[in-house]
Amino acid sequence: MSKKPVNRNFIWAQAFVNQLYGLGVRYACISPGSRSTPLTVAFANRKGIKCFVNIDERVSGFFALGLAKATNFPVTIVTTSGTATSELYPAIIEAFQQRVPLIICTADRPLELLNVGANQTINQWNLYRNHIRWFKNVGSPDLSAKKITSLRNTAIKAFEISSNKNKGPVHLNFPFSKPLEPNTFSDEVETDSLMEALNPITFKNKTTKTNKLTKKEEKQISKIANYIIEKPNGLIVVGPMGYDPTFRTKVKLLSKTTRYPIIAEGVSHIRFNNNKSDNSVCVNYDAFLRSNKFKKNHKPEFVLQFGRTVTSGILEKYLEVSNPLRFLINDFGDIFDPSNKSRPPLKFSPGIFIENLIQILKGKNLKRMKNYWLKDFEKADTLAEGIKTKLLKNSGIQIEPGIIQDVISIIPSNTKIMVGNSLPIRDLDGFIGKTKKNFEVYFNRGASGIDGITSTALGIASIKKPTVLITGDLSFIHDLNALLPAKRYSIQLIVILINNNGGGIFEMLPISSNKKWFNEYFKTPHNLNISSIVKSFGLEHHIIKSKKDLQNKLNNSLKNKSFTVLEIKTDSGSSKKMRKNYWADAIKQIETQFS
């Protein structure tokens, strides 16, 4: 039998990568380093896996997060040993909290070099332990059939956990001894066993979900149905989450059946693809729920909440104070209720839950004698919509909520939107009305960091076109290294950069009245010339001077198919005034109308 000289680490890495490929993994985000050579070359060598190389691991982590969000499928990340691994942590936290599937592969020194002062060596064992769904130290490469089978099973477990069983990031630590390069040989192996090592096991997914409910699940749903029958004053809260497209129709049907209003979060996609008749979809709750009178006379007794914790603090407080019987429904039974007053969460796919619930409710006599409940919410929503539209109609380009509304009205249906934290997501939630157009909205609300926003958007934009990012200036500056992959991979992304020269959100907080500390420690103006920064990366940048200008440049950018920053210099002071005027007007008119 013929033998072939090989590098053990490389064959080990190839066996692992081939198994991932066999499972369907198609993207790897790799950062340069020496210890990770076997993994890097195995991924680079694997036809069918697209590799993105990012020098900055923090960018790489968030970029992978964006890819995984857009594909809803595990994406691999490779880093070398040492601090490189810890640069991934922010993205891993975000992936953990949002249940985004990532397979993190960190290269390490072998056991004998740990804790003895070896170069670029830290304790990588379960480094992300508070924010990871699974960790395994893969062990030293070994080309025996038994160890290769074990390695493949590790790959399968990592895939199954991250994509389905306990969705989110998983961490595999790979110790490698030198030599690391594929053409520096450490072993001789028989050709047959080599072939065998490189062939992945065919994996049959036995966990395909059936729509059939267990007895326990049937009981849970019929309990909810009984509450709905008895309680006319209920709400359906649709929080942030990437729902499947059919959910929209189902939740509207549930609203029709129950006569409960839908409280539609800005980033839930329920605001989009709406018809004129979808009156029960309420979007202006952040304004009308500021009226104490409305709140006092409209206390929900029952709430079904899909998705994550809502963006609006006003809504969250209202739910807490009204203290309804509140049920959270999501795929993994996660808790999204800071008030900690809701019942234990129900683990259901939202669509399946609604289908079964409607089946039970159909033909039942729901106690809806007084129809005022739903009508009042619809009326309050329409009232606030009118006030908002009037105020924004005459607002200049420097008014932040107006910009977001304009962007939504300019971009065509089916554009993907990534929205940054701080004011952009709050303005989107507070000011975007219902529209006929259909959008997919992405967000990093897992930990609501201002880090990695552009990188995440670039990952999304690599898959979905066209993608528009709406972000603040500090968030953009925090993630400047994202401009490297933007250039390197010519990614088509339009960045709407709302530049209020610092953290505008802090203007909304009581600390803003403290002149001594506010500017230096909170708002932190930077006075940077963002145009020259962006242009130094060889990327396109335009300053937007007017609404007309926004329309023209945004339309041009959509056609150009390149990375473009459209920077709008805004005034956080007058933007704050506009928001406050709107809320004050809304309170006034709601209280007159509902007297």
Binding residues for ligand TPP restricted to 473-492, rule: CB under 6 A: 473-475
User: Is residue 451 a contact point for ligand TPP (CB under 6 A)?
Assistant: yes
3-state secondary structure 206-253: CCCCCCCCCHHHHHHHHHHHHHHHHCCCEEEEECCCCCCCCHHHHHHH
CA 204, 205, 207, 211 dihedral sign is negative
Q: Minimum Å distance from CB 543 to Mg ion?
A: 16
Q: CA dist 353 to 92, 524, 590, Å?
A: 30, 47, 35
* Structure letter (DSSP) for residue 312: -
505 binds, among Mg ion, ligand TPP, none (CB under 5 to 8 A by kind): ligand TPP
User: Is residue 94 a contact point for ligand TPP (CB under 6 A)?
Assistant: no
Q: Minimum Å distance from CB 544 to Mg ion?
A: 15
Cα 403 to chain center, whole Å? 22
Comparing CB distances to Mg ion, the nearer of 309 and 500 is 500
User: Is residue 61 a contact point for ligand TPP (CB under 6 A)?
Assistant: no
Q: Which residue in the set 273, 472, 494, 557 belongs to the binding site for ligand TPP (CB under 6 A)?
A: 472
| Site map 388..427 versus ligand TPP, x via CB under 6 A | ---------------------------------xxx----
Q: Minimum Å distance from CB 86 to ligand TPP?
A: 15
Calpha distance 529→534 (Å, rounded): 9
Residue nearest to ligand TPP (CB): 472
Choose among 172, 207, 570: nearest CA to 402.
570
**Cis amide bond preceding 179, omega within 30:** yes
**Cis amide bond preceding 240, omega within 30:** no
Binding segment for ligand TPP (CB under 6 A), chosen from 19-27, 58-66, 164-172, 446-454, is 446-454
Comparing CB distances to ligand TPP, the nearer of 381 and 473 is 473
Q: Which residue in the set 500, 557, 575, 589 belongs to the binding site for ligand TPP (CB under 6 A)?
A: 500
- # residues contacting ligand TPP (CB under 6 A): 15
* Structure letter (DSSP) for residue 362: T
449 binds, among Mg ion, ligand TPP, none (CB under 5 to 8 A by kind): ligand TPP
Contact status, residue 268 vs residue 291, Cβ threshold 8 Å: no
Comparing CB distances to ligand TPP, the nearer of 235 and 469 is 469
Other Cβ atoms within 10 Å of 426 Cβ, number: 22
Comparing CB distances to Mg ion, the nearer of 38 and 504 is 504
Comparing CB distances to ligand TPP, the nearer of 14 and 422 is 422
Q: Minimum Å distance from CB 364 to ligand TPP?
A: 46
Choose among 494, 493, 502: nearest CA to 475.
502
Choose among 553, 542, 167, 579: nearest CA to 402.
579
Calpha distance 395→390 (Å, rounded): 9
251 binds, among Mg ion, ligand TPP, none (CB under 5 to 8 A by kind): none
Residue nearest to Mg ion (CB): 472
Where helices occur in 269-371 by DSSP H, the ranges are 285-288, 292-297, 313-322, 350-361
Please name the residues in contact with 479: beta carbons below 8 A apart, sequence gap of 6 or more.
59, 62, 451, 452, 453, 454, 455
Hey, is 192 helix, strand or coil? helix
Q: Which residue in the set 20, 23, 505, 550 belongs to the binding site for ligand TPP (CB under 6 A)?
A: 505
Comparing CB distances to ligand TPP, the nearer of 273 and 475 is 475
Binding segment for ligand TPP (CB under 6 A), chosen from 137-145, 272-280, 403-411, 501-509, is 501-509
Q: Minimum Å distance from CB 554 to Mg ion?
A: 20
Comparing CB distances to Mg ion, the nearer of 398 and 552 is 398
**Amino acid found at 267:** V
Binding residues for Mg ion restricted to 504-543, rule: CB under 5 A: 504
Q: Minimum Å distance from CB 521 to ligand TPP?
A: 11
User: Is residue 430 a contact point for ligand TPP (CB under 6 A)?
Assistant: no
Binding segment for ligand TPP (CB under 6 A), chosen from 145-153, 183-191, 429-437, 503-511, is 503-511
Q: Which two tokens stand for residue 198?
A: 């490189």
164 binds, among ligand TPP, Mg ion, none (CB under 5 to 8 A by kind): none
Binding segment for ligand TPP (CB under 6 A), chosen from 62-70, 215-223, 342-350, 448-456, is 448-456
Comparing CB distances to Mg ion, the nearer of 41 and 505 is 505
Spell 439-476 as b/e; 16+ CB within 10 A means b. Answer: bbbbbbbbeebbbbbbbbbbbbbbebebbbbbbbbbbb
Please name the residues in contact with 12: beta carbons below 8 A apart, sequence gap of 6 or more.
38, 141, 142, 143, 148, 151
Binding segment for ligand TPP (CB under 6 A), chosen from 60-68, 198-206, 434-442, 469-477, is 469-477
User: Is residue 504 a contact point for ligand TPP (CB under 6 A)?
Assistant: yes
Binding residues for Mg ion restricted to 413-472, rule: CB under 5 A: 472
Q: Minimum Å distance from CB 557 to ligand TPP?
A: 21
Q: Minimum Å distance from CB 404 to ligand TPP?
A: 11
552 binds, among ligand TPP, Mg ion, none (CB under 5 to 8 A by kind): none
Dihedral class, residue 325 (left if φ above 0, else alpha if ψ from -120 to 50, else beta): beta
Calpha distance 465→87 (Å, rounded): 28
Contact status, residue 315 vs residue 337, Cβ threshold 8 Å: no
Q: Enumerate binding residues for ligand TPP (CB under 6 A).
A: 421-423, 448-451, 472-475, 500, 503-505
